[in-house]
Structure 1
Amino acid sequence: MTQRTQVVVIGGGQAGLAAGYHLRRLGTEHVVLDAQAAPGGAWQHMWDSLRLFSPAAYSSLPGRLMPLQEGQPHPDAGHVAAYLADYEERYELPVQHGVQVEAVRDEGRLLRVETDAGVWRARAVINATGTWTRPFLPAVEGRREFAGRQLHTVHYANPAEFAGQRVIVVGGGNSGAQIAADLTGHAEVTWVTRRPPRYLADDIDGRSLFDAATARRRALDEGRPDTGGVASLGDIVAVPPVRAARDAGLLTARAMFTRLTATGAEWADGTRQDAGAVIWATGFRPALAHLAGLGLRGTRGRIATVGTRAADDPRLHFLGYGDWTGPASATLIGVGRTAREAAREIALPIR
């Protein structure tokens, strides 16, 4: 089966939906292909205790405010997934779920999008696949020798399955801090980071982060000195559970170990710590394997962009990958602006 449309959006999470919203407003024919069987993007797979950094009003996609979650000043992941499902339905976005994109190829004027449900041809593609399907595991000596359980953030659900165990959590970002805090009181936790944890001020939330990222992008675009953006503020947002664990002295990080052993970890000074599990909160990489046939990948696996557009192919746009494709574009509140810019550029004839 081969179909033709003006634009194919790959990915039906928050970035893909924001793109669909703006394409619909512009009257641009499009389809959104989503590998997930149900609406909600990666939010439907997050750990149970996860909360947004910001209140619902500052965590919304274009056109519709996220409703409040009763009893929760900062909504949980389930609430976000429900919001995305409602958003998709409310705006009648043409999302096809359960469709896996296998490859995008150049066919002269058009791009050929090959999937397990058929082929689409389009004059433009918006890639909004995010990073959730590409968890990153560092090359640590002994990782294959460790006899205990190893899992990445994507596989963590709640502390109940680790009750009474010794657990090492690796990662100095938000996920590492939140999972380590979640486990306190249930397991014996060793939190390991490559550098001392850097907490943002307690009153900083997602809106402040968006403002900082936007100010940095504006400064760079205008040729002014780099403000440092979000990175200048710190690495960890002190959401209430993290703040409580930190203030109670339960969230003290150790330096990164040098290797894993069969029974745990070993540090440079020879000290060892036994553990039944290691949780790698070590981040993600963009999910771009389906674009390999276009021959656009550059250093560190990224594709060079001008705004959201691929520098070497104006038919291809990227949404939702953080500062690489727009300030705070990996956030709910931040993706709307870059989605609007991409949709407007695509609505013009391809040069």
Structure 2
Amino acid sequence: MNNENKIYDCADAVCIIGSGPGGLCMARALKRQGLEYEQFERHSEVGGVWDIKNPGTPMYQSAHFISSRDQSGFLDYPMPKHFPDYPSNRQIFEYVRSFATAFDLYGKIRFNTAVEQVHKEENGRWLVTLAGGERRRYRAVVCATGCNWDPNMPEVKGEFEGELRHSVTYKNAQEFKGKRVMIIGAGNSGADIACDAAKYADTAFISMRRGYHFIPKHLFGLPADEVSEKGPHLPMWLTRTVFQVILRLINGNTARFGLPKPDHKLFESHPLLNTQLLHYLQHGDIQVKPDVSHYEGRDVVFKDGTRETLDLVLYATGYKWSCKYAADYFEWKGGRPQLYLSIFSREHHNLFGIGYLETNSSAYKLFDNEAHAVACYLRDQLQRPAQASEFKQLIAQDHPDLSGGIRFVQSQRHEVYLEVHALKKHLRSLRQRLGWGELEEGYYRSLRKGNGYVSIPQLQAIAVQEPCL
């Protein structure tokens, strides 16, 4: 057999694709269960989108974490107290690298190694083809490459003679100096970038298709998600009512700044955790415009008939969810993969996704929950076949309501939107039902190297070595 046709059989090992936060959570969970795995990363470092040097990352210099420090850390590895309430992208990158070091995850990652294709064989095993042609066989594949790599550029009639870009190309607010700029889109990143434009551009606009509810990052001196998490767990209708009263008192009627009225109730779509944009609107440093109708030369014509002459239009219109190396094995609806609990393929045995979901809080703790479920299921396949068979039936047939009582906006983005507490509650019930054990503080303590936080200078002293595969 020629070497280029050779297949390396990795027995019962699991293949993890990607070493961002989700992929690292998965590696730690498998390690905790004593399961063999191999991990591949196309870039030269862990961190995924948080490494601003990673080609194609949507990261920009002013980006900060959207959830707060104390609500967002990995289980058994909290973010250090010297971080601010909302850490910067550089601090999150440092934190993720520190996490990989503290749990000794670097050694099993093959860096600068992209996965070209994943193929399911007739026997149910997975054949993974790496860049360069190397092929390796696994019993399971975890796709942990995330969903913020394929820019979504809506089609707009006409030709714009200025500069037209997607926000994935944006890195530094200095790019706006001396220009008339418009940001299209009002997700949290779009609002952040609009604030950069308000501060640095000669003239700044933000085009919004719909109105949003604005939640301050701090309420009563505490991060907003901390207030929500530590406060009494009330029925959703009552929680919404309380928050609406608070927001009305703090923000007043935001329509006076030119913002459109939200066409949905609070929490039915993502709120904007950004009162800085309100600050710039209050001071006239940025203006709100409606949806774009078409382009005419250097003019942008809006659906209300008004127009503006601009130098730069930046689309902060999100990303197409994709998994190009395994796309044919996912069922897509509204551009979103349809997975049990947003994790498990219902059709293809032992194909998993980490991070293929939209939710309203604490992503890293949610990654821990997802990874733990996958690892326990894979362990059961080897050690407790009856429990594995029971869960396989759930993957095929269970359709839990994970809305948490919220009627989410009917849009592509919300096809897989779920309420984080509802998902965690369901996973907790599965752990109890299947005997997976509780996921609580101390669960990963035995895997830690030393105590405390590993700083950047300490990280730079650590040599990263590739494993012998």
User: Do the aligned partners of 1:322 and 1:328 also contact (CA within 8 Å) in 2?
Assistant: no
Aligned partner of residue 8 in structure 1, secondary structure = strand
**Structure 2 matches for 1:228-307, cutoff 5 A?**
231-232=267-268, 234-238=270-274, 241-242=276-277, 244-294=279-329, 296-307=330-341
The 2-side partners of 1:229 and 1:190 are apart by 25
Q: Against the structure 1 CA distance between its residues 167 and 261, is the aligned structure 2 distance closer, same or farther, given a 3 Å change threshold?
A: same
Q: Which moved more, 1:25-34 or 1:149-158?
A: 149-158
TM-score by length of 2: 0.65
More off after superposition, 49-58 vs 203-212: 203-212
1:312 Cα deviation from its structure 2 partner: 0.4
Tell me how far 1:39 sits from its aligned partner: 1.8
In 2 relative to 1, CA 246–263 (structure 1 residues): closer, same or farther, beyond 3 Å? closer
| Alpha-carbon distance, 1:275 to partner | 1.1
Describe the SS at the equivalent of 2:178. Answer: coil
Superposition deviation, residue 301 in structure 1: 3.9
Structure 1 residue 262: Cα displacement? 2.4
Is the contact made by 1:13 and 1:40 (CA closer than 8 Å) also made in structure 2? yes
1:151 to 143, 161, 165: 165
- Paired residue secondary structure (1:305): coil
Q: 2:100 aligns with which of 73, 88, 92?
A: 88
* Change in CA separation of 1:267 and 1:148 when aligned onto 2, cut-off 3 Å: same
2:24 corresponds in structure 1 to: 17
Verify: 1:200 aligned to 2:208, yes or no. Answer: no
The residue type paired with residue 57 of structure 1 is D
Tell me if the contact between 2:192 and 2:274 (Cα under 8 Å) persists in the aligned partners: no
* Separation of aligned partners in 2, 1:271 and 1:244: 24
Going from structure 1 to structure 2, the CA distance change for 1:339 and 1:264 (only over 3 Å counts) comes to farther
The alpha-carbon deviation at position 322 of structure 1 amounts to 2.1
- 1:89 Cα deviation after fit: 1.9
Q: Is the 8 A contact 2:124 2:349 kept in 1?
A: no
Superposed displacement of residue 23, structure 1: 0.8
Q: Is the 8 A contact 1:172 1:235 kept in 2?
A: no
CA, structure 1 residues 172+43, in 2 after alignment: closer, same or farther (shift >3 Å)? same
Q: How far has the Cα of 1:148 moved from its partner? A: 1.9
TM-aligned CA deviation for residue 272 of structure 1: 1.7
Q: Distance in 2 between matches of 1:333 and 1:247?
A: 36
Correspondence 1:136 to 2:152: yes
Instruction: Give the direction of change, closer, same or farther, for the CA distance of 1:328–1:271 in structure 2 (3 Å limit).
Output: closer
Distance of 2:45 and 2:325 partners within structure 1: 21
- Note the alpha carbon deviations across 1:129-168, whole angstroms, 9 max, x for none: 11121111112223xx222222222211121122010011
Match of 2:129 in 1: 114
Distance 1:53 1:309 in 2: 26
Aligned to 2:189: 175
Aligned residue in 1 for 2:66: 53
In structure 2, the CA distance between the partners of 1:265 and 1:157, relative to structure 1 (3 Å rule), is: same
CA distance 1:234–1:6, change in 2 (3 Å): closer
How many angstroms apart in 2 are the aligned matches of 1:270 and 1:229? Answer: 28
Asked if the contact 1:69–1:75 (Cα under 8 Å) also holds between the matched residues in 2, the reply is: no
The two structures have a TM-score, normalised by structure 1, of: 0.85
**Structure 1 counterpart of 2:172, which letter?**
N
Identity of aligned residues (%): 24
1:38-91 Cα deviation digits (max 9, x unpaired): 222101121111111333222212331122445x33210011111111211221
Secondary structure in 1 aligned to 2:90?
A: helix
**Shift of the alpha carbon at 1:28?**
0.9
Alpha-carbon contact 1:15-1:319 (below 8 Å) kept: yes
Structure 2 vs 1, CA of residues 167 and 69 (structure 1 numbering), >3 Å: closer, same or farther?
farther
Distance 1:209 1:51 in 2: 20
Shift of the 11–205 alpha-carbon distance from structure 1 to 2, 3 Å rule, reads: farther
Q: In the alignment, is residue 74 of structure 1 matched against residue 86 of structure 2?
A: yes
Q: Taking structure 1 as reference, are residues 234 and 316 closer, same or farther at Cα in structure 2, changes over 3 Å only? A: closer
C-alpha contact 1:196 1:253 (8 A) present in aligned 2: no
Q: Distance between the aligned counterparts of 1:333 and 1:73, measured in 2? A: 17
Structure 1 residue runs without a partner (length 5+): 218-227
SS of match in other structure, 1:242:
helix
Q: Give the match's secondary structure for 1:259.
A: strand
Partner Cα separation in structure 2 for residue 272 and residue 338 of structure 1: 47
Structure 1 stretch 279-288 or stretch 56-65: which is displaced more?
56-65
* 1:347 aligned residue: 379
* Conserved 8 A contact 2:181-2:205: yes
In structure 2, what is the equivalent of residue 309 of structure 1? 344
Range moving further from structure 2, 91-100 or 23-32: 91-100
8 Å contact from structure 1 (residues 99, 115) kept in 2: yes
Change in 2 beyond 3 A, CA 1:216/1:183: farther
Q: May I ask how many residue pairs the two structures share in their alignment?
A: 332
* Root mean square deviation of aligned Cα: 2.9
Cα offsets for 1:274-325 (capped at 9, x unmatched): 111111111112231211343x4333343321121101012111111224xx
* Cα distance change of structure 1 residues 167 and 238 upon mapping to structure 2, 3 Å threshold: same
Asked if 1:33 is matched to 2:40, the reply is: yes
